[in-house]
Amino acid sequence: MAANGAGVAAHANGAGPQADNVGILAAEVYFPSTYVRQEDLERHDGVSSGKYTVGLGQQGLSFVGDREDAVSMALSVLRRLLERHNISPLEVGRLEVGTETSVDSSKSIKSYLMVMFEEAGNTDVEGVDCVQACYGGTAAVQNAVNWVESRSWDGRFAVVVMTDISLYPAGPARPTSGAGAVALLIGPDAPLVLERGLSTTHMAHAYDFYKPSGLYPAVRAALRERAGGAVVEHAAPAMDGPLSVYCYLSTLDLLYPRYAAKFEKRHGRPFPLGDAGRHATPPRPIYTFCPAPPVPRPANHALFPAPYNKLVQKAFARLMYHDMHGEVPEALAACGADLRDGSHPRPPMQMPRDLDKALVAAAFATYDRKVRPSTCVARQCGNMYTASIWSGIPQLIETTGAALEGRRILLYSYGSGISASMFSLLARAPHAPRFSLARLQATSDLAMRLARRVPKSPEEFEQAVQLAEQRYCAGNYKPELPALEELEPGTFYLAEVDARYRRIYARKPLAQ
């Protein structure tokens, strides 16, 4: 059980186990085997070459037909986490799901996942779904960590699953669609510890992105009738693109100074994002229960939610811009940019276009070192909503491994509406080798799975999307796309929706 071994002590009053170094023990990501290349979409849509690949910074777009949905992807990634890390369902005491693509307005996705635990004889599993745009996964992680650190913890693991499908109507937003799921194992003596006392949050009300009604059959039927029987893309969100970007960046402007202030208060020195290389990695602790050495370290890596990669580049450049404090680096001066003219930082919508471009260019070398190693999944699979930022964790583990030890990972999690947090993880060498970063890296096959996908044509993409739209909230059918042969062995899929709208799932056998 999770409580046995390193990272667990007794509460002073004997109330139960007390966990130390709580954070992420393991991480897995699932993405559909079907995807379309962005350069193919550019040609199909008749736009200029590079509009999606350079302008958005995207390489691929994962999609599903009617055979996969948010539940099947959650089942696939959860089973993957349990099997690859030899976790018994009996060892899990909390399971929480972050999503904004639920298939039911009442029944949680978590309840579908309980089949795995019921089969093992474990129904004592806390947690339900967290729904708040892209932020739901982060809220679920916070809840899981809080549970493990609390007196309510019974010594078992917590698991967080994020699963989402983003699909936009045909037009300029469609290339920012995507699909995928992430599962995290949470517990003590973790290699990636959630750093306490530095997290900062911003909550507000905005209509930058939302999904009004549309889930109810009566509403759907009324819309279809008004459209003369045509398929209505009611599943697509209502979105104000410029406002959404503004909220994303202006919230970043609020949270970064707050995080930096907390860092400075704790460590007695400023938090500069760009100078991680100037600080030596602190020594590895000798004893299991010793706290991490109080050596202040800036962020060696930074993770962001990724509607599209160009926005990630702009967000990171904006953090670097904050650290400039009105000074003009040589790289920007050479571009003719003047940071001294006006307030600092300037609001996102008041940034001169030339200055914006110059900042992204000046920050690119640092971005390449601190951010790019965690972005491959997001660039190749597209927007995964709640799973977007967290897909960077298994990616970073695969690209960096044990070299992460002693480093800080800064995370900015944003969900439209608005909910956002900035916090950090500290990477360390756990006492138990089972979840060491070196072992996690050695067993990762993320790059291989991405490489063996077979791209679909834009026409096949559109066919799958149209079928999924027709089947949205429908009943009494058996899914058609993609063909079962195209699914990876071990993938869960939707086998049938009966006349009472009950969804039945199955699993493709593992390869022999």
111 is in an annotated binding site: no
d(CA 95, CA 112): 11
Name the helix (H) or strand (E) containing 494: strand 492-497
Q: Is the pLDDT at 109 greater than 50, yes or no?
A: yes
Q: Is the pLDDT at 276 greater than 90, yes or no?
A: no
Per-residue pLDDT of 15-63, as tens digits, reads 567 889 999 999 999 999 999 999 999 999 999 999 999 999 999 999 9
Per-residue pLDDT of 114-137, as tens digits, reads 999 999 999 999 999 999 999 999
d(CA 6, CA 333): 52
Q: Is 195 a catalytic residue?
A: no
Q: Which residues contact 215 (CB under 8 A, 6 or more apart)?
A: 105, 473
- Sign, CA torsion 240/241/246/252: positive
What are residue 477's phi and psi, to 5 degrees? -155, 160
Q: Which residue has the higher pLDDT, 222 or 133?
A: 133
Q: Which residue has the higher pLDDT, 127 or 10?
A: 127
Name the helix (H) or strand (E) containing 309: helix 309-324
Q: Is 100 a catalytic residue?
A: yes
d(CA 389, CA 378): 8
Mean pLDDT of 182-198: 97
Q: pLDDT band at residue 88, thresholds of 50, 70 and 90? A: very high
Question: Is the distance from CB of 463 to CB of 36 less than 8 angstroms?
Answer: no
Average pLDDT, the chain: 88
- Amino acid 341: pLDDT: 59
Active-site residue among 42, 68, 91, 100?
Answer: 100
- Amino acid 292: pLDDT: 47
Q: Is the pLDDT at 385 greater than 80, yes or no?
A: yes
Q: Is the pLDDT at 383 greater than 90, yes or no?
A: yes
Mean pLDDT of 383-397: 98
Nearest CA among 304, 390, 414, 412 for reference residue 96? 390
357 is in an annotated binding site: no
Active-site residue among 130, 134, 376, 473?
Answer: 134
Per-residue pLDDT of 304-363, as tens digits, reads 999 999 999 999 999 998 888 656 566 666 555 556 556 677 888 888 888 888 889 989
- Amino acid 221: pLDDT: 53
Q: Is the pLDDT at 14 greater than 90, yes or no?
A: no
- Sign, CA torsion 30/32/33/38: negative
Q: Is the pLDDT at 70 greater than 60, yes or no?
A: yes
- Amino acid 222: pLDDT: 47
Highest mean pLDDT among 59-73, 287-301, 353-367: 59-73
Lowest-confidence pick of 4-8, 166-170, 264-268, 368-372: 4-8
| Domains in the chain: ranges and CATH | 23-193+450-508 (3.40.47.10), 200-273+297-442 (3.40.47.10)
Nearest CA among 11, 321, 348, 357 for reference residue 155? 11
Q: Is the pLDDT at 90 greater than 70, yes or no?
A: yes
d(CA 273, CA 46): 40
244 is in an annotated binding site: yes
What's the angle, vertex CA 278, arms to CA 275 and CA 280, rounded to 5?
Answer: 125
Q: Is the pLDDT at 191 greater than 90, yes or no?
A: yes
Question: Is the distance from CB of 326 to CB of 340 less than 8 angstroms?
Answer: yes
pTM of the model: 0.90
d(CA 129, CA 54): 36
Helix segments in 214-308, DSSP class H: 217-226, 241-267
- What percentage of the chain carries pLDDT values higher than 70? 84
